[in-house]
Structure 1
């Protein structure tokens, strides 16, 4: 019969009294101790009955010697249980020998498991690789002029649980592992409706920092001059990168928590500005609207251009500092073009190459 990592003998072998050790549990787990515990747990599970009983006794004595050993046993037992999630073809290697098999075969399997097998797989580097190796990777690319929705297979048994909607001119890579779910957004705008999974947090990586969520709906925009986050509902945490240093928490500024109706804009200069938004208008482009509320023109223009075949170009920095407020249909970009000189002191100049340039009207 198959050996299950949750077998009661293993649970007894690796269980530690919480009351007796909780107050003195070490902050860091010694990987060498974990590998020692894994070896004894494997022997208790796989060896012949007499040797199995001796391994359980040895583990019990070793565990009681110190809080560090006790902590290592807890971690080893947790990793052993994770074997149940391995692919069937790998899990078959841990099946108990059938009756009548010779002991040399059993000892050969034991040597493999207790040596490079179990400790190599579940030890320090092996365990990290097992937890963090992507099981699913996909590049989502929306090159159309309409939003596009994608189902993400991050639920039980690979079922679709979360959803990501990409605005036009948006490219995003999704990676799912046993430890986390990540989406890397280098350019464009996306709306995320994320299923809750506390064991596998969802993170959006941007040029300015990481956004971590447990279960919520929010939008992220990565355009030329800034990264913008808006929360429709739930809670996200933005962890900014230190200047020139990506993903090194030791050097990073403090994280910023955002809740329903809150927004944050982080400019390439490092300046962050918070604001309030109407939750019902988060990622309004999904419903065919572009909504700007006192937005700088150089911030708004990349979003506008995502819905145009001929992009608008700013004449100079002064033009980009003008402020734009209004609601515009994404399926009628020319109406916005006609409205701009009415709303703002702008001239629109058509150049010989067909490009359209916006310049501040001088008279």
Structure 2
């Protein structure tokens, strides 16, 4: 954040501007000129970016609020709204986050509409272990972002990016939900790992049981995993793919700072590698993608792995039109 000392009025003005920009850029009719103006405003001061990130947290809660059943005036004295607008979504979330309307917030909690606790957790350059308000423990891998919201009838985590290992406090009456891409993992108390890269998700179960659905909008609770099982899906898949794992699965090596590539094709390995890169690697063609790689690498130094690939595989690095690194198979000598 900026070292500039702002008056309360100046800070309030920035907060209000951040809220207005947050609502405007989420509107489908936001113009290119408006987005350019927003980019200029965002870059003008680190405080602008800090306040906008806070507004995105609020927006994230409002976007994931349960859809309430119609309530009568006897239950809660709120005006009836036929269609929820972005302004009302923001107002509801802000009421909870800023405690601007404690009576409405309490009523929303009792009806299961609003959370009574909301926290955001990130891990940038080191692995981080956090304790959620419900007592559950979560280990966050490098470059991971997640949020926790506690509702009356459920505990909800949204994994925005990265990877996390969960030790969930047992509570049959208060299930624990993890939302990743378009899917959902439902548990009451267990230990499991969730890896996500772009629209790909992998759930590995160590203890207890979980229900995995690849699309939270589908009916039913999804597929049940038992210890030693893994589910994989992409956003939009009708169902997850289930497979067996083994005790020392390399999928959990990140907890000790390692990336284990167990004789994988480059096509399989790149999502695992790219999780740690600011600029993702691609392969030039399917033949390059079929080349296989194995080894144990330090997750804090994956860039060194990228530069060493031409030394261990018959490939060379080039750049595409967007400046992204591309792996190309070396031509075979005739």
Contact kept, 8 Å, 1:208 with 1:227, in 2: the verdict is no
Which 4+ runs in 1 deviate beyond 6 A? Answer: 350-354
User: Per residue, is there more helix in 1 or in 2?
Assistant: 1
Which of 306, 329, 333 is equivalent to 2:298? 329
Note the 1:5-20 alignment, pairs <5 A. Answer: none
**Alignment gaps of 5+ in structure 1:** 1-30, 37-89, 91-116, 155-160
Which of 205, 208, 212 is equivalent to 1:231? 205
1:141 and 2:122 correspond: yes
Which of 224, 247, 250 is equivalent to 2:217? 247
User: Which structure has more RCO (C-alpha within 8 Å, separation ≥ 6)?
Assistant: 1
Rounded to whole Å, the distance in 2 between the matches of 1:273 and 1:322 is: 24
TM-score by length of 1: 0.54
- For residue 306 of structure 2, give the secondary structure of its aligned residue in structure 1: helix
**Cα 1:265–1:361, aligned 2, differ >3 Å: closer, same or farther?**
farther
Which of 165, 168, 171 is equivalent to 1:197? 171
Rounded to whole Å, the distance in 2 between the matches of 1:236 and 1:213 is: 5
**Cα 1:309–1:131, aligned 2, differ >3 Å: closer, same or farther?**
closer
Note the 1:228-307 alignment, pairs <5 A. Answer: 228-241=202-215, 246-249=216-219, 255-268=222-235, 270=237, 272-281=240-249, 282-307=251-276
Rounded to whole Å, the distance in 2 between the matches of 1:267 and 1:167 is: 20
**Cα 1:208–1:354, aligned 2, differ >3 Å: closer, same or farther?**
closer
- Offset at 1:264? 1.5
Rounded to whole Å, the distance in 2 between the matches of 1:224 and 1:336 is: 21
Contact kept, 8 Å, 2:213 with 2:240, in 1: the verdict is no
TM-score by length of 2: 0.58
Rounded to whole Å, the distance in 2 between the matches of 1:323 and 1:313 is: 15
Which of 281, 288, 291 is equivalent to 1:312? 281
- Report the number of matched residues: 233
**Cα 1:131–1:309, aligned 2, differ >3 Å: closer, same or farther?**
closer
- Offset at 1:263? 1.0
Note the 1:140-179 alignment, pairs <5 A. Answer: 140-142=121-123, 144-154=124-134, 161-179=135-153
**Cα 1:310–1:247, aligned 2, differ >3 Å: closer, same or farther?**
closer
- Offset at 1:196? 0.7
1:348 and 2:317 correspond: yes
**Cα 1:182–1:296, aligned 2, differ >3 Å: closer, same or farther?**
farther
Larger Rg: 1
Rounded to whole Å, the distance in 2 between the matches of 1:200 and 1:300 is: 37
Rounded to whole Å, the distance in 2 between the matches of 1:195 and 1:213 is: 10
Q: CA RMSD in A?
A: 3.6
1:221 and 2:195 correspond: yes
Rounded to whole Å, the distance in 1 between the matches of 2:175 and 2:323 is: 47
Rounded to whole Å, the distance in 2 between the matches of 1:224 and 1:147 is: 20
- Offset at 1:307? 3.3
- Offset at 1:148? 1.8
**Cα 1:353–1:337, aligned 2, differ >3 Å: closer, same or farther?**
same
**Alignment gaps of 5+ in structure 2:** 1-70, 76-101
